[in-house]
A and B are shown apart, each in its own frame.
Chain A
Amino acid sequence: MGQTLTRTLASAIALSAGLFATAAIAQDDITIAMQLEPPHLDPTSAAAQAIDSVVYTNIFEGLTRFMGDGSVVPGLAESWEISEDGTEYTFKLRDGVTFHDGTTMDAEDVKFSLDRARAEDSANAQKALFAGISDVTVVDPQTVKITLKEPDGNFLFNLAWGDAVIVAPESIEDIKTNPVGTGAYTFSEWVQGDRIELTRNPDYWGEQPAIATATFRFISDPTAAFAAVMAEDVDVFTAFPAPENLPQFEADPRFQVLIGSTEGETILSTNNKQAPFDNVKVREAMAHAIDRQAIIDGAMFGYGTPIGTHFAPHHPAYIDLTGQSAYDPEKAKALLAEAGLADGFETTLHLPPPSYARRGGEIVAAQLAEVGIKAEIINVEWAQWLETVFKGKNFGLTIVSHTEPMDIGIYARPDYYFQYENPEFQALMEELTRTTDPDKRTELLQQAQRMIADDYVNGYLFQLAAITVAKAGIEGLWENAPTAAVDLTGVKWTE
């Protein structure tokens, strides 16, 4: 009897302790880890994605914004009107929006931000986004009118980029170390090399987010990344760098694994102006020499979607053209023979640091060797890659993931590093820019996808997967990565 009572008491205590514990862990702080630390916190003057990962939609907002599914929705602009000819955009700004320093966000700030981005001495890494703007006028404090040189069907999309966020002249001086925006989170501390802390903004114009404080930590080593998540030192790891460990997290009830899509078309970039790649037969031969699934399995542990053209598979206008360049080494050899290269040839394969390139490159080189193409692997750092490959165009082949959203337009730039020159394609892109009708745009985009697939400009390998590992109790994280961002506004703990 006594024993039973003790046991009942004990379980009652345990139970209430459990209840208290549950109440106590209605957690409202979160620790997010990512591989790279931002160099500074101004998204409007650097290309580093790590900056956007921390500040996009959290600290800074633009007139429009991306959602997790890639759609573009109103941001600081509540609504807009587009003139008949498509060259005038009149934006109505939201009421009562203030910057974190208390100053009001109005049409003057919008004009300041956009004029700053497109100015002569602008340090904006995506200055081309604003090249089409001819004038920004303040109509009244809540209304701003943007005039374009010619219609641009992509304009609202372009304004959603992190490089187009609205900043204030009052705080621009220190933006790199003390970012002041309009977002749901204010910047509180940056211990360089270690962490960045954000705090919920009580004066936010929109709905108050569930997370009160967020800490971003930077863990570049893949093994350390695995250990940090396993030891529960961090709650979320975005762009998790060790895909080989994912099965372990999937099997562990403490964690959840989110696999989505990024905007990263991973391609075997080919120098189209260099012999023998200036011969389309040779490029076609390479396309058939490559076994995409083997690369995805071998280099990415199965995570990634095969692509047959330079376009994101999750986009509604995507067409699957992988069949056109199916793995067929015999055909590749025949095509090489037709091109007069029956004995193959030698070339270089420049590989930047990410594992998709370094691991993928080994497999690509082996597959090319099967058909007689000897690619000498040259490992390079990013800075070196930019100098020799991107700027110097001194390469045969390279593997790169093109992570900018909707970037098929790079094929219309003959001076772009893979040097594809096709006036027909350029005309097509010009037509696309002028077109605002959605159906017509889809048709043009599909035509463009076919054209570069038919020309075998590059070896189209796979769409990079967005891999997030998180504690099981977290909800509302972006599964896909339409842009580099860790949007905290919808995130919450459920347990």
Chain B
Amino acid sequence: MLRYSLKRLLSLIVSLAVASVVIFAVIEVAPGDPASFMLGVNAQEDTLAALRAELGLDVPKVQRYFDWIGGLLVGDFGTSYTYRTPVAQMIADRMWVSLPLALYALALSTLIAFPAGIYAAARRGKPGDVAVMGATQLGVAVPNFWFAMMLVLIFAINLRWFGAGGFAGWDKGVWAGIHSLTLPAIALALPQAAILARVMRSALLDILGEDFMRTARAKGLTRRQALWRHGVRNALIPVLTILGLQFSFLLAGSIIIEQVFFLPGLGRLVFQAISSRDLIVVESVVMLLVFAVIMVNFLVDLAYALVDPRLRDRT
């Protein structure tokens, strides 16, 4: 188990280093000077030079890269060009929206997908299965922003159960916060739930054909008992993989959803920073997202080992 973890950890560090170079290169190479964006079309050359010096944009790119990485290692994310506030503070503030949203959506999608997938597998070929599969087909096909708009139209504009967007703030109470994240979480969760349910179903169906399942039935377990005790547990590996991938999708998908619901989250921060060429914010947030995704995958790898003892023994 230890060797397995160490190996995973090493690959994690290499991935992060490569990602940091790619992120920095891509963002810095794209044309557009942050200073001239901020000062607009009537700015004079001396004003621009003064601002560039103030922002530290006059030092060579290679040095800026190492300054940035050096800062990240000690937890200093730099200072936003446009907002002039520490990036770490901005990320922390936005995290209070984005992380709960992603977790809320993850919980919802799991809650919907597991029962739906298991139900469909148990009723293979019967009308129940066909109905669930039809619904998931729809869920996979419909883009989440369209879904978000429909939710707003029905629940915010017509029924008035929710606001059309915005975030109440946790200081108004946990319930107010959850209430304002509900529509966005549903919009994010449903397409993911559809995928997850399909994976759950097919994984279970594969397992149901295995010899050990027949053995389980032969030793006297009912269909239901066999399904729960041996089937679901073994189907968890592919499902976990998808769940890990989905967490990244949920973080990335929130860029669009946060626009539709005008939530002050990380996605919105990145979006604003990209259009205003706030390079340091984009770099740091993207790096953080990459870190989160790689960490989640690392944890999923570890979880495999927990679920499947063969994996820890082999490596």
B-binding residues in A (CB < 8 A): 37, 39-40, 46-48, 120-128, 176-177, 191-195, 217-221, 223-224, 227-228, 230-231, 233, 353, 381-384, 386-388, 390-391, 404
- A191-B169, A193-B265, A383-B33 known; A221 vs B259 contact (CB < 8 Å): yes
Q: A193, B272: Cβ atoms under 8 Å?
A: yes
- For the residues of A in contact with B, the DSSP-based class is loop
Question: What CA separation (Å) do A244 and B42 show in the bound complex?
Answer: 32
Chain B hits for A46, CB < 8 A:
38-40
Q: B165, A233: Cβ atoms under 8 Å?
A: yes
- Check: B156 CB closer than 8 A to any chain A CB: yes
Chain A hits for B163, CB < 8 A:
231, 233
Question: What CA separation (Å) do A387 and B50 show in the bound complex?
Answer: 18
Q: A227, B272: Cβ atoms under 8 Å?
A: no
Q: A120, B157: Cβ atoms under 8 Å?
A: no
Question: What CA separation (Å) do A46 and B81 show in the bound complex?
Answer: 12
- A128-B44, A387-B36 known; A231 vs B83 contact (CB < 8 Å): no
Among B36, B41, B93, B274, chain A packs the most CB atoms within 10 A around the CB of B41
Q: A120, B41: Cβ atoms under 8 Å?
A: no
Interface residues on B, range: 35 or more
Closest 3 CB pairs of A and B: A47-B40, A383-B32, A193-B264
**A271 CB to nearest B CB, Å:** 16
- B34's partner among A176, A224, A230, A383 (CB-CB below 8 A) is A383
Chain B hits for A121, CB < 8 A:
50
Among A121, A230, A386, A391, chain B packs the most CB atoms within 10 A around the CB of A386
Question: What CA separation (Å) do A192 and B166 show in the bound complex?
Answer: 12
Chain B hits for A126, CB < 8 A:
42
276-304 of chain B: CB within 8 A of chain A? 276-277
Given known contacts A40-B82, A193-B269, what 4 new A-B pairs fall within 8 Å (CB)?
A: A125-B40, A191-B264, A195-B166, A231-B164
Q: B272, A228: Cβ atoms under 8 Å?
A: no
Against A, the Cβ 8 Å flags (1 = close, 0 = not) of B193-204 are 000000000000
- Check: B46 CB closer than 8 A to any chain A CB: yes
147-185 of chain B: CB within 8 A of chain A? 149, 152-153, 156-157, 160, 163-167, 169
Q: A224, B36: Cβ atoms under 8 Å?
A: no
- Check: B225 CB closer than 8 A to any chain A CB: no
Chain A hits for B167, CB < 8 A:
194
Chain A hits for B84, CB < 8 A:
40, 176-177
Q: B275, A390: Cβ atoms under 8 Å?
A: no
Q: B32, A381: Cβ atoms under 8 Å?
A: yes
